[in-house]
Amino acid sequence: MAVNKARAAHTAASSIFKPDATKLLWLFVSMLGAFPLVVLALLALVVLLAIFAMAGGSQMTSNSAEPDDTSDQATHATVLIELSGGDGRGEFKATAVPDEDLVDPIKAAAKKCTLLTPVILAAQIDYASQWDADKEGPQGRKGLSQLTPEVFDEFGEDDDDSGEASVLDAEDSIHAHARYFCHLADKTGQLLKDQKVAGDHLSLTLMAWDIGLETVEAQGGMPVLALGTYAFQVRGLFPKYTRDADEESDTDDSPPEPDETATALPAQDDPDDPTEDGDGAAALSASSFAAMFPNRNSFYTYAGLTDAMAKFPAFAGTGDEVTRKRELAAFLANIDHESGGLVHIEEINRAAWGNYCDAGQPYGCPAGQSAYHGRGPIQLSWNTNYKAAGDALGLDLLNNPDLVREDDSVAWQTALWFWMTQSGAGTTTAHSAITGGGGFGETIRTINGALECGGGNPAQVQARVEAYQRFTAALGVEPGDESTLTC
């Protein structure tokens, strides 16, 4: 019987491959039809790996610039996530929005939670309605965001003060969209914290938007094949609403030129007085920032930096113009070193993530033993620093340290908080060191002096010095006395 079956199979196979023109044509057409599916499946695998790589990732210092395999892996993960459309945290390209009157509502609504950005919000609206505020879809969905009646009843408000909350009112729809997104972000964040789902926070939230929280939890998070899902398709729209680094800013994110900036130096004060504070952002344009960090992760935006700088007006705003530019260059050089050129958002050595919990503190480590690893441009680490920075910034970073990797303004704020207020291994803050005549070397001592200064790691010190010299040259200022460049 087995032999007969084999012969039958052989006979069937032989009949297929006889040189019959019609059968050959159909075979050829079938192969052509299957080829795009194979390509899409491979692309889906790449994207899935990218999304999971993003979910994974120095002490504030020591190993951030060391070249090793983990550094290469982090760089590769950044490239892969870009293939899936990016993370939506780039600078918002407002001109891509068909109705300019919607730009301000989008930017305002996107501030409702740290995960949401204008890019993400715009991409979702584009996918939902193609910017048709009057669109009516299935299941009673209406408006720009195609919200169901139940969702709008819960999250909709009269945001434009028209006297009525309406899902067909563009501004009301945008804000209701943001509230609902942030509600889902809270829920998916808790599922991740409880280890009930796998995947990255943004993709899980987009999935919950599309298929519901219960389904996301039931299937354990990301599906094996992400291609074709709502999250994948929305991510594909991110580049459309993200401004390229070499494009001129089409928003108010860039500061005015120095001579038009009211806060560059207090108008009533003598601009030559070296004791006065001013707006350090005036010395750094968006184009200069992009040129200084050509390979930076899109998470680190110019808008996030200038937003954080506005909260620390003395930064790069103390002293004369030379002093201000030197401080700006010193800060950028040190964060360049700490983050690998603004490539790394989290500490790349995952094996060290559990080393930064001082359980002896009365508040302990409520977010977990490994939750206080390095994050952000200066690689903030230790529960003590997350607690202190959070208290100073009005944020609960002790319980939610991931805010530093989810919100670029918060990430920049933690870096400036350390720079302006902490002495680290030095005797003074980095801000006071550079503005008080201590030179660039003293900023190194403050940030990582225990491991690098006094001959501890001269190669690391030299790398910082070379970065400082590059940035001072870019800002058009001399780096200062050569004897003060090292520590």
User: Is residue 248 among the annotated active site residues?
Assistant: no
Other beta carbons less than 10 A from residue 89's beta carbon: 23
Return d(Cα 173, Cα 251) in angstroms, integer: 22
Among 349, 374, 487, 479, which Cα is nearest to 427's? Answer: 487
Output DSSP code: residue 346.
Answer: B
Q: Tell the burial category of 19 from Cβ atoms under 10 Å away from its Cβ (0-12, 13-18, 19+).
A: exposed
Which residues are within 8 A (CB) of 4 and not within 5 positions of it... i.e. 6 or more apart?
A: none
Q: Out of 91, 171, 327, 338, pick the active-site residue.
A: 338
Other beta carbons less than 10 A from residue 44's beta carbon: 19
By residue count, the chain amounts to 487
Return d(Cα 78, Cα 74) in angstroms, integer: 6
Q: Which two tokens stand for residue 131?
A: 């910017």
Residue for token pair 């972000």: 185
Q: Which two tokens stand for residue 72?
A: 């290469």
For 74, what's the count of Cα atoms within 13 Å in the CB-facing half-sphere?
A: 25
Q: Which two tokens stand for residue 321?
A: 């113009």
Q: Which two tokens stand for residue 465?
A: 């010095």
Query: Can you tell me whether residue 394 is helix, strand or coil?
Result: coil
Helices 302-310 and 408-421 cross at an angle (nearest 10°) of 50
Active site residue ranges:
338
